[in-house]
């Protein structure tokens, strides 16, 4: 399996062909299917974050940082982290390379992993943290493995898209039948 999660082209074409003829009759069909798919993908992402190896209170915080956005005409749904600062009132602001750490950066580090700096000499607590991190066998540097909750979610989004398309087709098929019955009665 490749490192990049991609959708199968034939499945996407099948998805689009299902909605081709409905676009003229019911323009909201695609928007409803995309909305349903986006919400299902967000539920899957939240489940992946809950299963991740994080502290319990951190899981809720990371879930609250995720944002589901929709296109203006319902053409797409996107999940991404907020672009705001991770600063909490009463806490010392965190910085990285002289700039404030954003929620988006923290989410990226949790997703992909990050390096671990060497602990200060004599700091027992820091050495315990280093012991839990991995060791790169080529460079000898320590790192924290990524939780990959976005990557796992990407792999399941195609199934959610097809399910949403099927449900939308059922709903709008019922509407078409109603319209035909009203026309003949």
Angle subtended by helix axes 28-51 and 149-184, to nearest 10: 150
Q: What is the mean pLDDT of residues 167-178?
A: 78
pLDDT tens digit sequence for 30-60: 788 788 888 989 999 999 999 888 888 888 8
pLDDT tens digit sequence for 93-112: 677 777 788 888 888 888 88
pLDDT tens digit sequence for 58-82: 888 899 999 999 988 777 888 889 8
pLDDT confidence band for 141 (50 / 70 / 90) = confident
Taking the whole predicted model, whether its pTM rises above 0.75 is answered as no
Our CA angle for 125, 109, 119, nearest 5°, is: 25
pLDDT confidence band for 173 (50 / 70 / 90) = confident
Q: What is the mean pLDDT of residues 105-133?
A: 72
Domain boundaries, the chain: 9-82+153-184
């Amino acid at each position: 399996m490749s490192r990049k999660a991609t959708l199968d082209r034939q499945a996407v074409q099948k998805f689009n062909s299902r909605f081709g003829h409905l676009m003229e009759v019911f323009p909201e069909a695609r928007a409803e299917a995309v909305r349903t798919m986006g919400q299902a993908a967000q539920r899957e992402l939240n489940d992946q974050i809950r299963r991740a190896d994080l502290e319990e209170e951190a899981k809720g915080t990371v879930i609250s940082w995720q944002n589901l956005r929709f296109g203006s005409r319902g053409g797409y749904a996107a999940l991404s982290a907020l672009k705001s600062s991770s600063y909490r009132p009463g806490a010392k602001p965190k910085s990285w390379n002289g700039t404030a750490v954003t929620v988006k950066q923290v989410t990226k580090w949790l997703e992909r992993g990050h390096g671990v700096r060497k602990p200060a000499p004599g700091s027992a607590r820091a050495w315990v943290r280093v012991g839990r991190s991995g060791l790169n066998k080529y460079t000898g540097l320590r790192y924290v493995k990524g939780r990959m909750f976005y990557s796992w979610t990407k792999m399941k989004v195609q199934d959610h898209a097809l399910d949403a398309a099927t449900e939308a087709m059922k709903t709008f098929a019922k509407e078409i039948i109603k319209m035909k019955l009203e026309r003949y009665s």
